[in-house]
Structure 1
Amino acid sequence: MKKSNKNSAKLRVILDLLFFILMVLVLIPQSTGIPIHEWLSLVILLPFFLHLLVNWNWIANQSKKLIKNKIQKTKFDYVFNWLLYLLMLVVTVSGIVISEAALPVFGIHFKTNAFWTATHNLSATLFIAFLGIHLALHWKWIVQSIKKLKLLADLHYLKQTATVVKKQRKALLLLLALSIILSLGIWLIEYSNWAQQITLNSAKNTSKNTQKPTQSWLLYVLPLVKVTVFLTIPALLTGLVIKIKKKLKK
């Protein structure tokens, strides 16, 4: 393996591990507390975009093949990754709109409504399931990469992020522009009749129903259980489907 390829592979697995750890923490806001949850949600965008940049050559090549209608084996993986990207944007935009701690520090206040709260909760849950499927699709590479990784000794590969950003600066600008445009589109959904109807219905239901307070220790345990279940089950089912497909081909 060439040195540049080795550096890229090491950087990729370190960034992915960092992203995964931060994502688990972000997905259990009741356990970490809202302020930590919101600040980590902003921090996690850095490894997320770096992950895209490290894999940009694959994204660009697959996009070209899709235009020429030459994608076959990786077509599902390609489309699925874009769906995961869109879900990440929905989770982020809806999280920003309902921010209670991070944005108010900068004097930015959004009027919270039930539509964005419901959207944030639903998209976050879907993201967990999609992340589980994504892990299953790349499980072989993940296991092999972690076996080769010497975490403390290999942390210096993070210095390669500057090289990646410099090399892929055009791709970064394209990703940022695309993300901003799509995020604005997602935000404008709030003004649709559909979103306003959801807000009105939710307000009526909230006034009728009163939830019983959850025991304090469950507030810390249940979010982690939810993440584990919604992450593991889709991953196991995807792994099972992959094994069945391999057996059918033999």
Structure 2
Amino acid sequence: MQTATKAKTGNRSKTNYLVDLVIGMSFLLATAPNATGEPIHEWLSMGLLVMVVVHLLLHWQWIVAITKKLFGNVAWQQRINYMLNIGLFIDLTIIMFTGVMISKTVVPLLGLELPINMTWRSLHGLASNVGVVLIGLHLALHWDWIVRSSKRYLLQPIAKRLHKPATQLATKEQSS
């Protein structure tokens, strides 16, 4: 039973890592609309929204558990993490809403036409800059997990694949 629990936890951790890796890479690309172009920026941001929803669903039990005991006995790091996540959620909601309001690709494709409003563009830029800071803090708070998971799910599998042929070669030479 304990092995099954460890396997389930390991798979969940790996899933979390892969989702977060996709979110991180997408975020880096989405924050560079001048490099990717506006259409890619908008579509990538829509995909990023979906991945953030998946991230929230994967962590839903934690969200509910911490919300229930937020004003009770909760470690300061979890409380800070929770407040930071609330800030990120609000900020990402503003970014996505204002992004839709200034869309030149996705919204027109749906047959909708929104008036040009520089206030939305300014708010989108401000919220995006705040988001970079909040995500930086989020990464800093989870840095140990990021490093451990990167070693476990990214570097170790690569190292195993690189060393596998040499091990097989040595085994064949020893049997000759």
What TM-score results when the alignment is normalised by the length of structure 1? 0.58
Task: Give me the CA root mean square deviation.
Answer: 1.6
Match of 1:54 in 2: 58
Q: Confirm or deny that 1:31 pairs with 2:39.
A: no
Residue 22 of structure 1 deviates from its aligned partner by: 0.3
Structure-1 separation of matches of 2:73 and 2:116: 45
Residue 54 of structure 1 deviates from its aligned partner by: 1.0
Q: Confirm or deny that 1:22 pairs with 2:63.
A: no
User: Paired residue for 1:142, among 139, 142, 146?
Assistant: 146
Q: Which amino acid aligns with 2:72?
A: N
- Flag as ranges the 4+ runs of structure 1 deviating above 6 A: none
Structure-2 separation of matches of 1:43 and 1:72: 33
Match of 2:107 in 1: 103
1:151-205: CA deviations, max 9, x gaps? 8x7xxxxxxxxxxxxxxxxxxxxxxxxxxxxxxxxxxxxxxxxxxxxxxxxxxxx
Q: Confirm or deny that 1:70 pairs with 2:76.
A: no
Q: How many residues align?
A: 152
Among all aligned residue pairs of Structure 1 and Structure 2, give the percentage whose two residues are the same amino acid: 34
1:76-135: CA deviations, max 9, x gaps? 111111110110000000000000111101101111211101000000011011111110
Residue 71 of structure 1 deviates from its aligned partner by: 2.4
1:214-248: CA deviations, max 9, x gaps? xxxxxxxxxxxxxxxxxxxxxxxxxxxxxxxxxxx
1:14-52: CA deviations, max 9, x gaps? 000000000111110011001110111111112111111
Q: Which amino acid aligns with 1:101?
A: T
Match of 1:85 in 2: 89
What TM-score results when the alignment is normalised by the length of structure 2? 0.82
SS in 2 for 1:111: coil
Structure-2 separation of matches of 1:9 and 1:78: 19
1:127-146: CA deviations, max 9, x gaps? 01111111000000000000
Residue 69 of structure 1 deviates from its aligned partner by: 2.6
Structure-2 separation of matches of 1:130 and 1:150: 25
Match of 1:128 in 2: 132
Relative to structure 1, is the Cα distance of residues 69 and 112 closer, same or farther in structure 2, using a 3 angstrom cutoff?
A: farther
Match of 2:8 in 1: 4
Structure-2 separation of matches of 1:135 and 1:6: 21
Residue 56 of structure 1 deviates from its aligned partner by: 1.1
Residue 11 of structure 1 deviates from its aligned partner by: 0.2
Q: Which amino acid aligns with 1:147?
A: K
Q: Confirm or deny that 1:44 pairs with 2:75.
A: no
Structure-2 separation of matches of 1:46 and 1:9: 19
Match of 2:162 in 1: none
